[in-house]
Structure 1
């Protein structure tokens, strides 16, 4: 047992507890309150702030590396413009230094997704950032089917003189595949136990059935030029979906709100350049959140460093959002988007004991420092700052 004492708790579920305790047993949070007394190892966190482990629900770490000593890309299967059956979980190297860098910076859960080189890219999954191997670390697989509109798939195949070479080709490719999957799914349902009528097994179409049944959402890579196209495609097939990156969302506030989708915005630190990166409008995040849209933030790591996630939340605060609501965008909101809010994203009894202790208010104090990262009840990182005392 571990008992965290005397800390200010941002629960992300039941508000803020100014001076509380958190009791952890067997990797789970078993009690939250004041003056908890238990025969447990005590972590005195007086003067610190406790919050759920941070979550980035759109990441590529372990599948792409820009390391000088071990650079690789194993998360873009760019041999076919539609690859719905490939799974990101089989490409991830947990020995990547990015995993250690993640939990040292308070990120305890990631949504790892295929890249956006294809129109239909493959299946994403949710994982902890520390553990024995990727399968034991995994919380849920799959969490979504990744698809991509815009410059990335067009750039991949256009230079080969293959489809898609234009933006207008991408929705037609996507919709054709979804119609095939609908037909395949309906034929399976109608056949039921009649083996003679069951269609031949198709692994690609099988991967799309959970999307059609709304068991998992589409993660739709899009920016200002393709946001409305993404919404229209999802609407046509009545699908759950999130808009990923969503730069330029300020031009489509009403349409996004009306669609009922979630938005995974970022990375914030990308350059304001020509084309798809010309409008990185963090102010849209505040407006959409005010209008009830479920918002999460992403660093798109390793394209932007994973440690910048807390700074993304700080930028949202700078645009006028409250600290607690901004912190929800990197804790409980991405957990909800991935469908794992029963496990992570808030400090509540029964949830995984993934907790970060800060000195300073994260997303507000620019010098807020991580003192401890706890995953599944284990302290996996402690800073060199000797502020709390770990006593029996």
Structure 2
């Protein structure tokens, strides 16, 4: 049992900022938060005077453990480039839960991540939502599967075009994706499915039943529109991954209540479809009412610096409170775990980060972290 005493708490809920606060933690849960709370006997007191306390940050698009730190061929399990349609693959089966990327995440106050297959395939496989620390590696699994990864745009075209296979065009990208959903929709209506087909298409059936979202990689506005037409046809929950040109079609996203997992933003224009990359994109999405979260795409950019990417967006005009929401409350809402994570309030899981300065100050360090009530550091 812990009592964090004296910090400035950014609750990220209706309570707002609580100065000189007390947070009581019992097991994996926040028992109480507020001013003038009596600390019961037996609680270990953590002095947080002069420090900021936030919910743990959440990165909704990474390849941590799949595209490992240090290792190259040995630790590259992010893309199965032998078949463009592989919904049956599970990221969890390829993740090294001892990858150094998890420690990197903790240094930046990132307490939960979603790790997923890459974007070489039209349908790459199932993502897993993980804690970045637990007393044993089996306890790092928070939600599996958390979503189904798909991709449009340049990546599948390049990978399979180089092999002289389909898809080689955006038309084929879209056709293969639609075909997979039409097949799954047909199976959904049948009483009996052959085991092999059930194994392959069951993740798509889960998406059709809204048991998990489709996490669709798309940079360009035309590819995002293709994804939105798929949502219209099958009435699925959809989140756009990357969304470099999402601000150009923001009205269409708002109309369908589709969120964008935005980024990575601290990169060069590595591909033609990334020509609109800018930290100003976050503010443009916010002004137009599009829900979004920040992503690192680790190891493309380091997960450790997720809050820095948000800070750079604030520098370019984004409202500070919206930036905090993009690190906390928006991700959990889209992934439907807002009842447990994203804010600091009684009854929520104890994912908390203590910072030695304002979290968006570049000189600030993470000094202490709780993940599910487990205390790290200090």
Whether 2:23 is the aligned partner of 1:29: answer no
Q: Is the 8 A contact 1:143 1:339 kept in 2?
A: no
Residue of structure 2 aligned with 1:328, choices 313, 325, 329: 325
Q: Deviations over 1:254-305 (max 9, x none)?
A: 2222221010000011102450221113323223223332210001001111
Task: State the Cα distance separating 1:143 from its structure 2 match.
Answer: 1.3
* Deviation string, structure 1 residues 35-56 (Cα, Å, up to 9, x no partner): 2222111001000000001110
1:46 to 45, 49, 60: 49
The 2-side partners of 1:9 and 1:295 are apart by 23
What RMSD over aligned residues (CA atoms) do the two structures have, in Å? 1.6
Contact 1:49 1:360 in 2 (8 A): yes
* TM-score, scaled to structure 2: 0.94
Q: Name the residue aligned to 1:381.
A: 377
- What corresponds to 2:364 in structure 1? 368
TM-score by length of 1: 0.91
Quick one: distance in 2 between partners of 1:33 and 1:263? 33
For the residue of structure 1 that corresponds to 2:103, the secondary structure is helix
Cα distance in 2 for residues equivalent to 1:122 and 1:70: 20
Distance 2:120 2:283 in 1: 30
Q: 2:207 aligns with which of 188, 204, 211?
A: 211
Q: Which residue matches 2:149? A: 146
Count of residues in correspondence between the two structures: 372
Gaps of 5+ in 1: 189-197, 383-392
1:114-173 per-residue CA deviation (whole Å, 9 max, x = no partner) reads: 111100111111110012444321111111111000111111111111110111101100
Cross-structure match for 1:183: 186
> CA–CA distance in 1 between the matches of 2:71 and 2:114?
25
Aligned to 1:200: 194
Q: Which runs of 5+ in 2 are unaligned?
A: none
Q: Secondary structure at the match of 1:72?
A: coil
Secondary structure of the 2:189 match is helix
Q: Deviations over 1:282-338 (max 9, x none)?
A: 323223223332210001001111122011111221122222220111112112222
Q: CA deviation at 1:373?
A: 1.2
Match of 1:19 in 2: 20
Aligned to 2:342: 345
In 1, distance between residues paired with 2:115 and 2:270?
26
User: 1:272 pairs with 250, 262, 269, which one?
Assistant: 269
